[in-house]
Chains A and B, each alone.
Chain A
């Protein structure tokens, strides 16, 4: 992974920063330059809340090569109370206990490793609410 490419997304992957449209209030994760809903161009940076509702999930058995060592793994779509939606792995719980509609917590975790000398790539995963 190219370090510059990785660095560009750090505000989202490390701090869950989103953009809230100053005109219509729509929340974008990641932030954007123009609002899809109202074409507004001014945004306020907000931090997404740490919990959200699971909208759908799957368990992936044939992953891309960089995720082979953790396969099978669960992946879901979470909606935060700000209305932002994101795709992330669901960890620290057996797959048969995952249910659509459940509340999950967003946690900072290691997502990928790029060989022995490459970037350790971090980001967010979903875990049970403690």
Chain B
């Protein structure tokens, strides 16, 4: 297996981008990524997208995105694992380059979510759950995470204020990220009193609806110096794990086994343990998700993640910095793009290009991207080559 490096990354400012189309969102991010490199030929593209079909009525995403990127006759496929589509696309690209099948791979992620109404978006997102046995009976995504939140709060005595510490911290970080959708400070009190979505989760516990794309370029590490002047970021470990599709079938509602298994496998492949990780981007689709993920990754013991967040341990200057980008909550969550954007934030952090949100001495970073209520999880570990 060959060593694989990230040699170029690109995004745009995310948000409700009414003037930008599905295809052009992707092309803009891809051109930004290519612009960091001297690549003149792409061998294959992998594009994470959860639901082009339901959000904009467009499938055959590999082909349309390659076409509008000015490419023909290359391999291009869409990769889907609900909200973990971007992470799964990165893993597909990594495997392609590592195996020797392709040299230059473009990994993209894109979602255009604001062409449908709020109801339309709720419906599209709910397709990541069990249609017949969760959604049929009235489950929504905030509802599923609310079931986890109540179980967690009752089992461990976590408080409303502790939950709120997560979005407050992520908005503080997002203020330092010029590409974040919501660059505004929020307080614990504002989160605690925001509109109820699914008890106990309120609107400021929830990541938003976002238009956006992200792209990065992979190549064999040995070719990295020739193809880019940027410091090469070597992917040390890549793993994915599934779990039951329905939340009710899980062993435990207060931990995420897919996260545990995927992170243990990625760390083992990388030859690292969780305490070697200097900076992490995790899937904070809801406040409770970041708390449980931070435990399932091994940063904190079961039941201690909420307290740790409230004590500032996951802030940029904390012991285990989590989501310096602002996370899904502040940066935005264009579902298929999220996993790719997580790897881009870690790339900025490891290059030392993260500006005001730079984690000091970041040498090894990790991303965790989740599908559905934890039915899939993709983890990558990377370091400066």
How far apart are the CA atoms of A51 and B1 in the complex, in Å?
Answer: 54
Query: Do A30 and B253 have beta carbons less than 8 Å apart?
Result: no
Report Cα–Cα, A89/B134, bound state, in Å.
Answer: 10
CB distance from B340 to the nearest CB of A (A): 28
> Which of B11-19, B69-77, B161-169, B195-203 forms contacts with chain A?
B195-203
Contacts of A12 in B (CB 8 A): 133
- Alpha-carbon distance A88/B135, docked complex (angstroms): 10
Cα-based distance from A73 to B146 in the complex (angstroms): 13
Let me know if A97 is at the binding interface, CB within 8 A.
no
Q: What chain B residues lie within 8 Å of A56 (beta carbons)?
A: 147-148, 150-151, 154, 253
CB-defined contacts of A61 to chain B, threshold 8 Å? 195-199
Q: Contact at A62–B140, with CB atoms within 8 Å? A: yes
Stretch from B213-221, B243-251, B293-301, B313-321 that touches the partner: B243-251
User: For the side of the interface on A, what is the size category?
Assistant: 35 or more
Determine whether the beta carbon of B140 is less than 8 Å from that of A63. yes
Q: What residues of chain A lie closer than 8 Å to B137, measured between beta carbons?
A: 75, 87-89, 111, 123-125
**B interface residues with partner A (beta carbon < 8 Å):** 119, 122-123, 126, 132-140, 142-143, 146-148, 150-151, 154, 195-201, 244, 246-249, 253
- Choice from A57, A60, A87, A112 contacting B247 with Cβ under 8 Å: A87
Q: Shortest distance in angstroms between A6's beta carbon and chain B's nearest beta carbon?
A: 9
CA distance A33 to B34 in the complex (A): 47
Q: Are A86 and B199 in contact (CB under 8 A)?
A: no
Which residues of B have CB within 8 Å of A57?
147, 150
- 8 sample A-B contacts, Cβ–Cβ < 8 Å, listed by A number: A9-B132, A30-B133, A60-B197, A62-B140, A63-B122, A64-B140, A87-B139, A123-B137
Distance (Å) between the CB of B364 and the closest chain A CB? 35
What is the minimal beta-carbon distance from A99 to any residue of chain B, in angstroms?
Answer: 10
Residues of chain B with a CB closer than 8 A to A30's CB: 132-133
Closest chain A CB from B240 CB (angstroms): 18
Neighbour of A64 across the interface among B126, B146, B253, CB < 8 A: B126
Q: A56-B148, A75-B137, A85-B249 are in contact. List 7 more A-B contacts (CB 8 A).
A: A29-B133, A58-B150, A60-B140, A60-B197, A64-B138, A87-B133, A111-B138
Shortest CB distance B346–A (Å): 32
Chain B: which residue is nearest A100 at the CB level?
A: B154
Q: Are A86 and B138 in contact (CB under 8 A)?
A: no
CB contact between B198 and one of A9, A60, A77, A111 (< 8 Å): that residue: A60
Known contacts A30-B133, A87-B247, A123-B136; decide if A58 and B119 are in contact (CB<8 Å): no
- Cα distance A12–B246 in the bound complex, in angstroms: 16
CB-CB contacts below 8 Å: A27-64 with B: 29-30, 36, 55-64
> Which B residues lie within 8 Å of A85 (CB)?
248-249
The reply to whether the CB of A127 lies closer than 8 angstroms to some CB of chain B is no
Q: Which residue of A lies closest to B196 (CB)?
A: A61
**A67-B138, A100-B150 known; A58 and B253 CB under 8 Å?**
no
Pair A58/B147 contact, Cβ less than 8 Å: yes
Contacts of B133 in A (CB 8 A): 12, 29-30, 86-87
Distance of A75 Cα from B279 Cα, bound (Å): 37
Query: How long is the Cα–Cα vector from A62 to B121 in the complex, in angstroms?
Result: 12
Which of B122, B134, B143, B249 gathers the greatest number of chain A CB atoms within 10 Å?
B143
